[in-house]
Amino acid sequence: MLKLDGKVAIITGGARGMGASHARRLVEEGAKVVITDVLVSEGEELAYELGENALFVEHDVTSAEDWKNVVKIAEETYGPVNVLVNNAGITGEMAPIDETSEHDYRKVIDVNQVGVYLGMKSVIPSMKKAGSGSIINISSLAGLVGSTNSVAYVASKFAVRGMTKVAALELAEHGIRVNSIHPGFIETPMIRQGNTNDLTAMYEQIIPMKRIAKPEEVSNLVVFLASDDSSYSTGSEFVIDGGLSAQ
């Protein structure tokens, strides 16, 4: 039997990168997946590739109305939602605090933090209807340790870690588990954007395992947390960084 047979999942930021990898793995394991993103053409192509067990919905995670629509479509198409992967995120400006614009700071917080809050709030009634659920919030290594020139990103990812614990405490009695994943450097379009080979070499020098991870390695962890294999895990941080935070 497949690990996620009968599960209904929503994955935000699912059109490419880690989100697309998560969608593929969840479908492989038997889940029915609603892929959401602002990248319409990429999202539609992925849903077509994955077939009848996947569909795409255009979705701005900062919009409560969009969230309501996504959950409605998921329930009408596949049934009550069992799994939410809050994957959508942006990095924002790479600049010191005194050079970071208020506009950029608020934009990052809206997507990375408010989007996660709205996502959790929106799926709770559906998960209660389903009788159980797993919410998986994609934070970052930057949600565990500080990093220069990224005040908005770090703030948002620390917030995701904290919100995860609050939700885990509130929802445990309803059979809904909430955990956060903290990836280090992963091979995605976001991390490649603007990076040079020299920067990649630098990453590989500072990571104990001497390499950047593949998205599929994070997706394997998502599958574990989405499945009943992790039935006693809630309110926890799952770090996948090649040993970087162990130094």
Catalytic (active-site) positions: 153
**What are the structure tokens assigned to 47, written together?**
């849903």
Taking the chain, what is the end-to-end CA distance rounded to the nearest angstrom?
39
* Residue 189 near residue 18, CB atoms below 8 Å: no
Question: Distance (Å, rounded) from C-alpha 213 to C-alpha 76?
Answer: 36
Closest Cα partner for 91 from 16, 191, 21?
191
How many other C-beta atoms can be found within 10 angstroms of the C-beta atom of residue 187? Answer: 17
How many other C-beta atoms can be found within 10 angstroms of the C-beta atom of residue 165? Answer: 16
**What are the structure tokens assigned to 106, written together?**
């608020």
**What are the structure tokens assigned to 168, written together?**
């885990």
